[in-house]
A and B are shown apart, each in its own frame.
Chain A
Amino acid sequence: MQRTWTKLDWVMVAVTLALLGIGLVMVHSASSVISAQKFHDAYFYAKRQLLWAGLGLCFMFLLSNHDYHQLRRFAPHIAIASFVFLAVVLIPGIGQIRGGSRAWLGIGTFGIQPSEFAKLGLIIFLAHHLADARDRMQSLWRGFLPPLLLAFTAVGLIMLEPDLGQSVVIMGTTVILLFAAGARVAHLAGLVGVGLIGFAGLVAAAPYRVNRILAFLDPWQDPLGNGYQVIQSLYALGSGGLVGLGLGNSHQKFLYLPEPQTDFVFAILGEELGFIGCAAVLALFAVLVWRGFRTAMFAPDDFGALLAAGITGMIAVQVLINVGVVTGSIPATGITLPFISFGGSSLTLMLTGVGILLNISRQTAYRVA
């Protein structure tokens, strides 16, 4: 069936470009000290991020002009490829360890994270699978558990790296997709219950974990250990105050705050641009979430709707976890802030995801009209 594509969702494009721009500036500002220290080049991270942004924009452009239905044909292949890469990266000698996780494939300082692409791969496959499952979605064994099992497999592989952050994002996105596809609330509640029981089991096996997990409630109990990053992050946000110290004027980036350009870039943003800057960025994300679900609501078919919901859900979950950690609101979990944190795989993947969203939104108009 030939469809008439409408024009781009310019709001989504503008919001994405704004976030990307803010991200590039903040990555440069936050990383300048650590770049100069490590690589004797204050622009080291900024230049790379710019490169990835260019690549990501290319993907975004390509996919926004590419009918998303074709993705569905390759959904099983994409899923298989994702799982293969998740397994391959675990092989010593092939996968590289960075920051304590064997999560990287690559050469030299360039590297890609299979887990990032697996997230999108899994969303595509689950959207494909769930789009045909409306009849059995309310059944536990035939509808609810199979996609869940698939997600658990991915999480199992990622936890071998280990990478808690990506695992949590995948679980969160999967739950969103299951809910969107019409799973019973009772089943979802049961899943949460099982999760709690599992957590209790882990705690019973090793009570010290409670302290580590609950360290975020009072980071000052262990200021040089578990609480260190959160405290440094709060110092950055707190010294920023309402209006911030001004772009480039962060003190905490002078090696006090670890990973200022990746997981904690939002803290430096808060220090330099203040509450106003933070609130503006979160508002942009809120707009993105709105446009994403609007796309889902008006998508031409179930696959498109679930794909849009999954991609938007993933972005939202990452924002909530990242900012939750930076503000000390949830236990520390390493995950990037979409479009803003330094990280080639993450940035490329996010822009690719927005490209898909844009394409879905371009196909909504004729149904709305």
Chain B
Amino acid sequence: MRVTRGMMRRRFFILMLSLVTAIGALVGRLAYIQAIQSPWLQQKAYDLWRRDIPLEGKRGDILDRNGKVLTYTATAPTVIAVPRQVKDKDAAARKLASILGMPEQKVRDLLGRRQLLVYLAPGDRRITEQQADQIRALAIPGVYISEKGKRVYPFGTLAAQVLGITGADNQGITGIEKEYDSVLQGRRGSITLFAQANGERMPDTGEQYVPPTDGQDVQLTIDVGIQQFVEREMEQAVAEYQPDRATAIVEDPKTGEILAMANYPSFDPNHWQDFPPNTYNQNLAIWQTFEPGSTFKVVTLSAALQEGKVNLNDRFYDPGYYEVAGHRIRCWKAGGHGSESFLNVVENSCNPGFIALGERLGKETLFSYIRRFGFGSKTGIDLPGEGNGILFKLNQVGPLELATTAFGQGVSVTPIQQVMAVGAVANGGLLMQPHVVKAILDHDSGEVVKTIGPTVVRRVISEQTASQVRQALESVVANGSGTNAYVEGYRVAGKTGTAQVAKNGHYEAGHYIVSFIGMAPADDPRLVAYIAIDNPHPKDRPVFGGQIAAPIVGRILADSLAYLGVPKSDDGLAKKPKWNDTPMVEVPNFVGMTMDQARRAALTSGAQLRTEVHGSGNYVIWQSPQAGQKVPDGSTIRLYLGDVKPSG
């Protein structure tokens, strides 16, 4: 077939139409890119062109409940250079080196680096305000002044795990620093520039200055005074018993506020890099889980009283063991406690008695109380890294498991869970949520931005039951296993615990965690204090919570209550004298006397008090312990002398 001229023309027309249509399609494609995709592409392109020089907002402070600064950020100007924007590097290096007092060659090297940003500064990057002003005056293109902060912890190791640590960019890594990072951090500002692909500044483009916003302050519920008592006691205990680990908590039971939280081993957040990671990565008080031992009996007792399964005057016979499903579970006391009341069972921490209570409750009821007291789930404290603890699953609980759980074995709990559970007893039966942050404050004005108030989790037992349990626990301290926690004038109630540590399915020989949890005053508790000491090595006494942990809690409670100005009272149970107890005598007043008068007074007091003299002068100006306190017969009274007779 011959191709006709007409056919060619048709084909020209078809070609023209197709090619013009194809060009039209490209116009459509451009419309899609430049109208619909444009905002997205523009943003991405903008991100590509811009270079942000970060300006740090000042990180907020962390304060104790009374406003003492526990952590602050020390800031100082710092010099930043964008090497690719510094044109005359030699001249810039010469000028900057003389102001900064750095070797010129070093500055030249820094300006020659192929990096977006370099910090120019001697030592730790920071310079004085005068130096900053001089450098600003030079107005060298590509050289900028920014602020650099460094975290300072004036109290060193104090409450280190609560405060936590920050990293090189001032970001919170652990503790409050992490939990409240967004609050403390503030907002970063920046100087935004436009750069060419080779890093040089794009000509005729301005710079955007976004000022940084300072972070807010976080005020803790921690009280430095109480925290210091706790840490002092812990240091002494560590020195005396060389334990592997120790942890202590003091709580205000009415609010759930944590007044002190301390752990051993600890670290100094100022230079945390020098310490082993487990010291700053773990907060034992909320992370560590272990079998609580007898402190857990508070839960069993509360449940039994609430359910009316026991009257504390009921009699119980302890032959030294309790038979459960063919097994004899022995009491800690060889030969048993014999015939005793259930109050004695609590005082003596008698395991068979608590097994009996567990059996009377039954597994459903006991475990429901355990869960209601907060065990087996996180307390929700505002600190990172909290543990759950482990409870038996109800369908795995046989008679044996029920028995051991009743006296605190076979469950795994955290210290904070125990504190909160006993705190519920102290708080008339209401379980609180613990918290360590009291308020968020504006850094500049100090105004309260947000207050964190008490949060009730649930009612666990009735007020009457709580009161009964407290009475029983006061009796434990006055008459029973917790007697070493007794403080004259402050009604301490509490419970000892000595737990064995399971490893690979067996209890490790000789490895105990001794603990004591106490509250005072028993009629209206202001404080709950807890200490656990893991693997103590006492020289001269058996490893029992009552021996090691109880006196520590006693001292913490006594010092803290005095510090808080809680008045002493005589309404409490008197301490039952034991055969080896020395009688207590009252300290007479020596202040205002001369030395001769004081010696005479000491002799005539009827007690055999020794005196120890400090300082020099004619008059006694102060004494320790104070007049009116009861001390064991034969104690030493320290007298401080001065030349001026004190008035009054």
A contact set with B: CB distance below 8 Å: 33, 37, 134-135, 137-138, 176, 179-182, 234-242, 251-252, 254-256, 270, 274-275, 278-279, 282-283, 285-286, 289-290, 292-294, 296-297, 302, 305, 309, 313, 316, 319-320, 323-324, 327-329
Contacts of B7 in A (CB 8 A): 182
B21 — nearest CB in chain A belongs to which residue?
A: A286
Contacts of B35 in A (CB 8 A): 241-242, 275
- Selected contact of B26 from candidates A134, A179, A324, CB within 8 Å: A324
Q: Check if A241 sits within 8 Å of B202, measured CB to CB.
A: no
Contacts of B1 in A (CB 8 A): 138
Q: Check if B45 sits within 8 Å of A239, measured CB to CB.
A: yes
- Selected contact of A238 from candidates B11, B26, B31, B34, CB within 8 Å: B34
The 6 closest A-B pairs by CB, nearest first: A238-B41, A182-B3, A293-B16, A255-B197, A235-B45, A254-B196
- Selected contact of B8 from candidates A176, A255, A289, A305, CB within 8 Å: A305
| Beta-carbon contacts under 8 Å, B193-225 to A | 194, 196-198, 202
- Chain B interface mostly: helix
- Selected contact of B194 from candidates A241, A251, A289, CB within 8 Å: A251
> How many A-B Cβ pairs are below 8 Å?
139
Q: Check if B23 sits within 8 Å of A320, measured CB to CB.
A: yes
Bound complex: CA of A166 vs CA of B558, how far in Å?
A: 94
Q: Mark B4-19, 1 if CB is under 8 A from A, else 0.
A: 1101110111011001
A291 — nearest CB in chain B belongs to which residue?
A: B16
Bound complex: CA of A290 vs CA of B34, how far in Å?
A: 26
B contact set with A: CB distance below 8 Å: 1-5, 7-9, 11-13, 15-16, 19-20, 22-24, 26-27, 29-31, 33-35, 37-38, 40-42, 44-46, 48-49, 194, 196-198, 202
Shortest Cβ distance from B23 into chain A, in angstroms? 5
Q: Check if B23 sits within 8 Å of A237, measured CB to CB.
A: no
Counting chain B CB atoms within 10 Å of each CB, the highest count among A239, A240, A289 belongs to: A239
Q: Check if A293 sits within 8 Å of B49, measured CB to CB.
A: no
Bound complex: CA of A294 vs CA of B3, how far in Å?
A: 19
Contacts of B29 in A (CB 8 A): 327, 329
Shortest Cβ distance from A137 into chain B, in angstroms? 5
- Selected contact of A180 from candidates B8, B37, B41, B48, CB within 8 Å: B8
Q: Check if A290 sits within 8 Å of B30, measured CB to CB.
A: no
Q: Check if B26 sits within 8 Å of A289, measured CB to CB.
A: no
Q: Check if B34 sits within 8 Å of A270, measured CB to CB.
A: yes
Q: Check if B15 sits within 8 Å of A176, measured CB to CB.
A: yes
16 A-B pairs within 8 Å (CB atoms) are namely A134-B2, A180-B8, A180-B11, A238-B33, A240-B38, A241-B34, A242-B34, A251-B45, A278-B30, A278-B34, A286-B20, A286-B24, A293-B12, A316-B22, A323-B30, A324-B26
- Selected contact of B16 from candidates A134, A182, A254, A290, CB within 8 Å: A290
Q: A238-B40, A275-B35 are in contact. Are A293 and B15 (CB under 8 A)?
A: yes
Q: Check if B202 sits within 8 Å of A254, measured CB to CB.
A: yes
Q: A180-B11, A241-B35, A279-B27 are in contact. Are A289 and B2 (CB under 8 A)?
A: no
Q: A235-B44, A309-B15 are in contact. Are A290 and B20 (CB under 8 A)?
A: yes
Contacts of B194 in A (CB 8 A): 251
A324 — nearest CB in chain B belongs to which residue?
A: B26
Counting chain A CB atoms within 10 Å of each CB, the highest count among B8, B38, B44, B198 belongs to: B8
Contacts A241-B34, A319-B23 known; 20 new A-B pairs at CB < 8 A: A33-B196, A135-B3, A138-B1, A179-B11, A181-B3, A234-B37, A234-B41, A237-B33, A238-B38, A240-B34, A241-B42, A252-B45, A254-B196, A254-B202, A255-B196, A256-B196, A256-B197, A282-B23, A290-B16, A302-B5
Q: A286-B20, A286-B23, A327-B29 are in contact. Are A182 and B8 (CB under 8 A)?
A: yes
Contacts of B34 in A (CB 8 A): 237-238, 240-242, 270, 274-275, 278
Q: Check if A251 sits within 8 Å of B19, measured CB to CB.
A: no
B205 — nearest CB in chain A belongs to which residue?
A: A251
Bound complex: CA of A33 vs CA of B194, how far in Å?
A: 15
Bound complex: CA of A240 vs CA of B198, how far in Å?
A: 22
Contacts of A237 in B (CB 8 A): 30, 33-34, 41
Contacts of B48 in A (CB 8 A): 235, 256
Q: A134-B2, A234-B33 are in contact. Are A316 and B23 (CB under 8 A)?
A: yes
Counting chain A CB atoms within 10 Å of each CB, the highest count among B27, B29, B34 belongs to: B34
Bound complex: CA of A48 vs CA of B180, how far in Å?
A: 63
A37 — nearest CB in chain B belongs to which residue?
A: B198
Shortest Cβ distance from A13 into chain B, in angstroms? 19
- Selected contact of B15 from candidates A138, A180, A282, CB within 8 Å: A180
Contacts of B2 in A (CB 8 A): 134-135
Q: A134-B2, A254-B202, A313-B19 are in contact. Are A297 and B30 (CB under 8 A)?
A: no
Bound complex: CA of A292 vs CA of B24, how far in Å?
A: 17
Bound complex: CA of A309 vs CA of B8, how far in Å?
A: 10
Contacts of B26 in A (CB 8 A): 282, 320, 323-324, 327, 329
Shortest Cβ distance from B448 into chain A, in angstroms? 46
Contacts of A289 in B (CB 8 A): 16, 19-20, 23
Q: Check if B19 sits within 8 Å of A320, measured CB to CB.
A: yes
Bound complex: CA of A7 vs CA of B35, how far in Å?
A: 42
Bound complex: CA of A287 vs CA of B187, how far in Å?
A: 56
Q: Check if B202 sits within 8 Å of A180, measured CB to CB.
A: no
Q: Check if B27 sits within 8 Å of A251, measured CB to CB.
A: no
Bound complex: CA of A279 vs CA of B27, how far in Å?
A: 6
Bound complex: CA of A294 vs CA of B9, how far in Å?
A: 9
Q: Check if A275 sits within 8 Å of B11, measured CB to CB.
A: no
Q: Check if A254 sits within 8 Å of B15, measured CB to CB.
A: no
Bound complex: CA of A256 vs CA of B47, how far in Å?
A: 13
Contacts of B22 in A (CB 8 A): 316, 320
A243 — nearest CB in chain B belongs to which residue?
A: B34
Q: Check if A251 sits within 8 Å of B15, measured CB to CB.
A: no
Shortest Cβ distance from A225 into chain B, in angstroms? 16
Q: Check if B198 sits within 8 Å of A180, measured CB to CB.
A: no
Bound complex: CA of A37 vs CA of B29, how far in Å?
A: 33
Bound complex: CA of A364 vs CA of B600, how far in Å?
A: 143
Shortest Cβ distance from B264 into chain A, in angstroms? 52
- Selected contact of B12 from candidates A37, A137, A297, A327, CB within 8 Å: A297
Bound complex: CA of A283 vs CA of B20, how far in Å?
A: 9
Bound complex: CA of A293 vs CA of B30, how far in Å?
A: 25
